[in-house]
Amino acid sequence: MKSKFLVCGAGGFIGGHLVKDLMNQGHEVVCADIKPQEFWFQIFEENKNYTLDLKEYDNCLKVTEGVNFIYNMACNMGGMGFIENNKADCMLSVLINTNLLRASLIHQVKKYFFSSSACVYNATKQKKIFVEGLKESDAYPAEPEDGYGWEKLFSERMCRHFTEDFGLETRVIRYHNVYGPLGTYDGGREKAPAALSRKIAMAKKNNEKEIEVWGDGKQTRSFMYIDDCLIGTQKIFNSDLKDVYNLGSDEQVSINQMIDIIEEIADYKVNRKYLLDKPLGVRGRSSDNTKIQGDLNWAPSITLKNGLKKTYEWIDNHIKIGENTSKFTRS
């Protein structure tokens, strides 16, 4: 059945892919993002596309009018360097979620989705490399990533209380490092898979033998390919389950291991210059998928190597023709 969706953060990486997927299913999609539309990663002229600041309540009232369902993917975020150096700006995203929830009540939205993050998890459980996967219950007692993680955890609670107090159907997912083509790979907001793919592609293009690596390369994470992200997100959104869920891969690797994989894909070896003074985040993090597997019989299907191959090839093609993140083909 055709429905009307609002995607907030539609000009971003996950948001752009989600818009395309909803359109392919035959839904009407309203898109909103604070960025000028020439900088949206994917934009579709047949949609109603808004450039505005969703921290303002009046703007939230405007874009939510007449929609059935809302995906809130909007927030100020980036890689670890951005998060650690922009804590206040990250915290201000709480206004987006708060005002969208308020507007949802006014316009009687049927269901509301909030995109949370693995950055909500207690830092004391992430001090070693190759840690056990984080369960949903590990967010409490609370000690999340300062700034960005606190905003996400608070906004999760806000969704919960809007459900309890006002009956608004809400869904919350904690994403673990989503990556893939049509995303940021330079400029300071990129995450590790894109940043390392760019560095190795640039080294190969310029016949350079060394890349810079933040930290000692031993820190560990898990990474989920965008296609798995879209399937898992909509599976949870369309279910009747109201719990908070992890959405991520449990294929935990070190940064050095990921470099090894990208080197194999690129067929190009580099030396590694470790920058120990750069922001690192937690020492180790991975997703425990027991809950989503048990409740929805679902797990990611795309291996890191296969996902990195698609990502590297897309970034490499852009670098070969001299483009950067700010230049994308409008769909």
Q: How far apart are CA 148 and CA 250, in angstroms?
A: 22
Residues whose CB falls within 8 Å of the CB of residue 256, separated by 6 or more in sequence, listed in order: 213, 217, 218, 272
Among the listed residues 71, 112, 148, 312, the single catalytic one is 148
Instruction: Using the structure block, give the residue that is written with the tokens 């293009």.
Output: 205
How many residues are present in the chain?
331
Backbone angles phi, psi at 34, to 5 degrees: -75, -25
Which residue, 71, 68, 64, 59, is CA-closest to 10? 71
Sign (positive or negative) of CA dihedral 103, 105, 108, 109 = positive
Q: Which residues pair with 273 in a beta bridge?
A: 212
* Burial (CB count <10 Å: 0-12, 13-18, 19+), residue 241: middle
Residues whose CB falls within 8 Å of the CB of residue 329, separated by 6 or more in sequence, listed in order: none
Active site residue 148: yes
Residues forming the active site: 148
